[in-house]
Amino acid sequence: MTEFLARLEDDSNVLDLGCGGGRTSARTIARRHRYTGVDLSPVQIERARSRIPSGRFVVADAAGLDLPGEWFDAVMSLFMFGHIPRDEQAPLLGRMHDWLRPGGWLLTTMGVGGTEDEVEDDWLGAPMFFASFDAGTNRKLVAGAGLDIVRERVVAHEEPGHGPVSFMWLLARRPE
């Protein structure tokens, strides 16, 4: 996150896909930038709106979102791709490329478990959809969308009641 923020000029136009309820990273971005959050949950959008009053918000499924091309200086999507069907991930990355201005930045996390599309019936008390590829396939998807990977790393994240789950953090850029 620090490297992503350091690469953005003040007052950049930033899109946050799967913004949730206005997490710390979103509030940090909104202090210096024009922030637009997108989430499927109206409840999460209301939470985010109360925490980030200067932001713009859209209730929508990111996989079907239609936005103007070359509109954003940066797109962020943290821990969302694992909830997008595998066959929708490459098209979404392509749209993210198109929403970025040339030279724009992408910060995203992608699962590396190679999980086929599946629903876990009791994930923290509710059913939850999961899908992911391996790290090599993630790299190919990002490159296939026309984005240049600048930095990547796989990090284990502790999921309460489930143990460590690994995510690939990717910082990528749309070529000038």
pTM: 0.93
Q: What digits encode the pLDDT tens for the residues 71-104?
A: 999 999 999 999 999 999 999 999 999 999 999 9
Count other Cβ atoms within 10 Å, centred on residue 134: 15
Q: What residue numbers bound the domain in which 123 lies?
A: 2-173
List residues bridging with 120 in a β-sheet. Answer: 128
What distance in Å separates the CA atoms of residue 35 and residue 94, rounded to the nearest whole number?
Answer: 21
The total of structural domains in the chain comes to 1
Report mean pLDDT in 10-residue bins for the chain, 176 residues.
Answer: 93 97 95 96 96 97 93 96 95 98 98 88 74 96 98 88 87 98
> What pLDDT does residue 169 have?
97
Please state the separation of Cα 159 from the chain's center in Å.
Answer: 18
Count each helix (H run) and each strand (E run) in the chain, helices first. Answer: 5, 9
Q: What is the CATH number of the domain that holds 155?
A: 3.40.50.150
Specify the length of the chain in residues: 176
Find all residues with CB under 8 Å of 143, minimum gap 6, and list them.
149
